[in-house]
Amino acid sequence: MLTKSSTESVRQQNSALVLSALRRSGPLSHTDISAQTGLASATVSVITAELERALVIEKSEQPAHSGRGRPRVFFSQRRASGYLIVVRISSDVVQYSMIDYSGTLIDRLEEPRNHGVAGTAPFARSLLDALDRLALRSRLEKAQVLAISISSKGIVDSERPRLLWSPVFGNEQIDFAALLQPHWSAKVTLNNETLLVAQALGLKADKSGAGTFRALAALSLGHSIGVGVARKDRFGELEVTAPNFGHMLHSPNAGLCRCGSYGCVEASAGFYGILRTAFEVPPDTIPAKFVPLAEMDKIAVSARQGNRMAGYAFRQAGIALGNGLSRMLSLYDRMPIFITGPGTRYFELLQKGIDEGLAQSHQVRRQGPPDISIIFDEQRLVFDGHLDRALTDIDNDIAASRVVSGSAAASRQEA
Ligand SMILES: [Zn+2]
């Protein structure tokens, strides 16, 4: 006989399965839900009725295909069941988006980052202020926001969640839990930006790969260099990580990096590394905090016109990237690489160096070079990664809390 707690946990798992099926491929009919989750028709009826009563999902009707007979009924998320705020911190702008429970974007505001103002305190104030304004503009109470999902470049402690090191704030840490919890009841999460890119790409490849997807890596090129790796674990779940690729050692006698070490991949391949080589600035010069894209475009034009040092700078950057990728492939095994970020506009200048850097390793000479694709719309991928992780979290929390409230209601009735 099942104990009460195990019955509840089965029900909780089944609710999570139904919500997950609706999240990935909704709206769905009763039959579709049953087919996708493997749950018996009667179980699906009980769960969908419960979720409908709890105002988590809703029904809609569509006329039957033939135009006659009973209309078809579809289930989907009820948009106003809760809200998600996505905060994307990049080197030049902070973007705030309000999303409803169905995953639809309802409002967005952007604020340029002020490079003249140093430190995390002014940033924290403007973050709190922007979140307040976003809720006010959407006419939502703070309690209706169930999750705040934040991303940044750099090294994150996603458990706490804390930003431990970032190109923007250096070693000055930001504890987002401590900052937001006094004001918001929402669950706060923090992820590395390129991890989210890998999450979105991995999910897409897994959906279209009919069970054949194994692994891929996303490489983001810009002021900093980021890598995300998405792999199927042995249970068939997507596992995504963000190894510290940008600050992996490329060559100990190469230039000074923003992190304080010498010879990181980023010190050669980040925008400031390319700029430093192109202008023959001494390699121990403290790196520029921010290099405007227009400045990089000028170096690229000059490289395309045959300027020797400008061409050499991109070639060296390419070699650092190629060497780094070959080391990663030696550790993880062969996988396709998706290159993204603002640096993709200079890809043809980097490519020769990347190929050269890759070919220097035994692994690549043995297995051949990896498939490399360019994806220009990085922001879209970051956003999709946010939605997938945060909305799945919300679904699981709803499934868990509903069981609790459901059993509380049941015990009240018993009493
Ligand atoms: Zn570094």
DSSP letters along 383-406, please?
HHHHHHHHHHHHHHHHHHHHHHHH
258 CA to centre of ligand 1 in angstroms: 6
27 upstream amide cis, omega within 30 of 0: yes
**Token pair 């009924």 is at which residue?**
73
28 CA to centre of ligand 1 in angstroms: 48
pLDDT of 67 above 80: no
**Token pair 């009841």 is at which residue?**
185
pLDDT of residue 407: 41
What letter does residue 306 receive in the DSSP assignment? Answer: T
pLDDT of 102 above 70: yes
Q: How far apart are CA 86 and CA 74, in angstroms?
A: 28
pLDDT of residue 99: 97
What residues sit around ligand 1, an ion, with C-beta below 5 angstroms? 247, 257, 259, 261, 264
User: What six digits make up the tokens of 102?
Assistant: 């169905």
Please, what's the b/e burial string for 16-31 (b: 16 or more CB within 10 A of its CB; e: otherwise)? Answer: bbbbbbbbeebbbebe
113 CA to centre of ligand 1 in angstroms: 22
pLDDT of residue 351: 97
Mean pLDDT of all residues in 230-247: 92
Query: What percentage of the chain's residues is helix, strand, coil (to nearest 5)?
Result: 50, 20, 30
**In the chain, % of residues over pLDDT 90:** 71
Q: How confident is the model at residue 406 (pLDDT cuts 50, 70, 90)?
A: very low
8 Å CB contact between 47 and 57: no
Q: How far apart are CA 372 and CA 395, in angstroms?
A: 35
CB atoms within 10 A of CB 401: 12
pLDDT of residue 404: 44
308 CA to centre of ligand 1 in angstroms: 26
Q: How far apart are CA 266 and CA 221, in angstroms?
A: 9
pLDDT of residue 401: 81
Residues of the chain with CATH 3.30.420.40: 81-185, 209-376
Structural Rg of the chain based on CA atoms: 24
Q: How far apart are CA 298 and CA 352, in angstroms?
A: 20
Q: What is the pLDDT of residues 111-147, one digit of tens each?
A: 988 766 677 898 999 999 999 999 999 999 999 999 9
pLDDT of 5 above 90: no
pLDDT of 195 above 90: yes
SS3 87: strand
Mean pLDDT of all residues in 397-411: 59
174 CA to centre of ligand 1 in angstroms: 19
How would DSSP label each residue in 89-101? E-SSEEEEEEEET
Select the more confidently predicted residue: 38 or 25: 38
CA proximity to 373, closest of 403, 336, 343: 336
315 CA to centre of ligand 1 in angstroms: 19
CA proximity to 82, closest of 61, 99, 58: 99
Residues of the chain with CATH 1.10.10.10: 2-77
pLDDT of 408 above 50: no
279 Cβ partners below 8 Å, 6+ apart? Answer: 309
**In the chain, % of residues over pLDDT 70:** 94
pLDDT of 286 above 90: no
Q: Which CATH number fits domain 81-185: 3.20.20.70, 3.30.420.40, 3.20.10.10, 3.40.50.11900?
A: 3.30.420.40
Q: What is the pLDDT of residues 291-337, one digit of tens each?
A: 889 999 999 999 999 999 999 999 999 999 999 999 999 998 889 99
pLDDT of residue 2: 52
Q: How far apart are CA 283 and CA 297, in angstroms?
A: 21
Q: What is the pLDDT of residues 138-193, one digit of tens each?
A: 999 999 999 999 999 888 888 889 999 887 788 889 999 999 999 999 999 999 99
The whole-angstrom distance between residue 80's C-alpha and the CA centroid of its chain comes to 24
Give alpha helix (H) positions in 139-228. 176-180, 193-208
Q: How confident is the model at residue 92 (pLDDT cuts 50, 70, 90)?
A: confident
263 CA to centre of ligand 1 in angstroms: 7
What mean pLDDT is reported for the chain?
90
267 CA to centre of ligand 1 in angstroms: 6
Identify residue 157 by its one-letter amino acid code: D
Q: How far apart are CA 19 and CA 160, in angstroms?
A: 27
Q: How confident is the model at residue 412 (pLDDT cuts 50, 70, 90)?
A: very low
Please give the CATH architecture assigned to the domain spanning 209-376: 2-Layer Sandwich (3.30)
**Token pair 């704030």 is at which residue?**
169
346 CA to centre of ligand 1 in angstroms: 22
pLDDT of residue 117: 67
The whole-angstrom distance between residue 37's C-alpha and the CA centroid of its chain comes to 26
Mean pLDDT of all residues in 234-243: 90
Identify residue 81 by its one-letter amino acid code: S
347 CA to centre of ligand 1 in angstroms: 22
408 CA to centre of ligand 1 in angstroms: 53
**Token pair 């699906």 is at which residue?**
44
Q: Which CATH number fits domain 2-77: 3.40.190.10, 1.10.10.10, 3.40.50.300, 1.10.246.90?
A: 1.10.10.10
